[in-house]
Amino acid sequence: MSAPLTPKRRRNRNRGIAIVVLTALVVLAFVYLFFFLGRGGSEAVGSSLTDGAVASGETAASADGPAASSLASADSGKSGAASDAGDDAADPEPAYPSYYDPALAARYDAFAQARPDLTEDEVWWMVGCDLDKAPYTDTQAVPDPNSELLLVNKHYYLPDDYVPADLVTIGATQLRQEAAEHLQAMIDAAAAEGLNLWAQSGYRGYGVQVSLYNQYSAADGAEAADTYSARPGYSEHQTGLTCDMNTITDAFGDTAEGRWVAAHAHEYGYIVRYTPENSDVTLYKYEPWHLRYIGTEAAARMHDEGIASFEEYWVKYVK
């Protein structure tokens, strides 16, 4: 039997219901918070585990290669230097240029010891294109033979089957189309000043260079031939971007045409590739007639910045 609900008992019953409902809400809130935070927390733990795995994977990858690991340490070195510079403006650490490669540090040191006449910057860019190695030793294939900024010298060679796809005829020879158009513009500009420039020898295939080099080295010996003739694969003439002008004689440099070319070739995207200033880099003697097309932008930059060799330009702006 139930007692009749007095106002007091009704209040007690309502209070009981309220307590049950509040308790249920609190429990639900705890359950909700537990699951929500718990899941969020486990996600956080999971993701940090994942990051950790990635990070340790990166560390492992770096450890595989001395290049990568020393890059990482050099980066921290750089940021250290940057903050030092911020702390003490009077004694700033010099920032490394983009072509400084920490992986080459041991070779920089060795080359600097061997060549105390060089500045630090010269050591960096010269090692950057393997000039610390003997010519024709431990050489590399050109990565992209069709680039107009490719470097071909006694350390970088073209495949023996490389033939440019866009050769066109200019004078009695051939060049790649863009190089030919710019050379024709240069010849026309010289002609407008009464000068007679002509394209003598542009593209030469691998086979032709084999015959030439063999002929020269039979006549003068390989050591002498190496100073004026490239070994097959190592000739810029195989690029289709190089042209010998007029006469292949030292005297060309002292003709009106030779002087005009030295002063104006860069306006047409060409450089005199082998000069007295860069012969210790190119390892060729002065060839005032041998022009190389590198495009107007690069040629203007070399001219404006006084960069003496394409090797230096290549390491600093192309590589």
Q: Which is nearer to Zn ion, 176 or 316 (CB)?
A: 176
Distance CA 76, CA 140 (A): 31
- Contact segment (CB under 5 A) with Zn ion among 55-63, 120-128, 135-143, 237-245 equals 237-245
Tell whether residue 244 is a contact of Zn ion (CB under 5 A): yes
Q: Which is nearer to Zn ion, 155 or 290 (CB)?
A: 290
- Contact segment (CB under 5 A) with Zn ion among 57-65, 90-98, 135-143, 236-244 equals 236-244
CB of 244 to Zn ion, least distance (A): 4
Binding mask 196-235 for Zn ion (x = CB under 5 A): ----------------------------------------
- Report the residue closest to Zn ion, judged by CB: 290
Q: Which of residues 11-30 bind Zn ion (CB under 5 A)?
A: none
| CA atoms 266, 126, 227, 170: torsion sign | negative
- Contact segment (CB under 5 A) with Zn ion among 139-147, 175-183, 239-247, 298-306 equals 239-247
Q: Which is nearer to Zn ion, 70 or 173 (CB)?
A: 173
Q: Which is nearer to Zn ion, 99 or 252 (CB)?
A: 252
Binding mask 254-293 for Zn ion (x = CB under 5 A): ------------------------------------x---
Binding mask 51-90 for Zn ion (x = CB under 5 A): ----------------------------------------
CB of 242 to Zn ion, least distance (A): 6
DSSP annotation string for the chain: ------HHHHHHHHHHHHHHHHHHHHHHHHHHHHHHHHHHHHHHHHHHHHHHHHHHHHHHHHHH-HHHHHHHHHHHHHHHHHHHHHH-TTSPPPPPPTT--GGGHHHHHHHHHH-TTS-HHHHHHHHHTTTTSPTTSS-EE-S-TT-TT---SSSEE--TT---TTEEEETTEEEEHHHHHHHHHHHHHHHHTT----EEE----HHHHHHHHHHHHHHH-HHHHHHHSPPTT--GGGGT-EEEES--SGGGGGSHHHHHHHHHGGGGTEEEEE-TTTHHHH-S--EEEEEEE--HHHHHHHHHHT---HHHHIIIII-
Number of residues located near Zn ion, criterion CB under 5 A: 2
Distance CA 133, CA 152 (A): 15
Q: Which is nearer to Zn ion, 123 or 158 (CB)?
A: 158
CB of 306 to Zn ion, least distance (A): 24
Tell whether residue 316 is a contact of Zn ion (CB under 5 A): no
Q: Which is nearer to Zn ion, 69 or 200 (CB)?
A: 200
CB 34 within 8 A of CB 28: no
Q: Which is nearer to Zn ion, 231 or 290 (CB)?
A: 290
**In the block, residue with structure tokens 């230096």:** 312
- The site for Zn ion (CB under 5 A) is made up of 244, 290
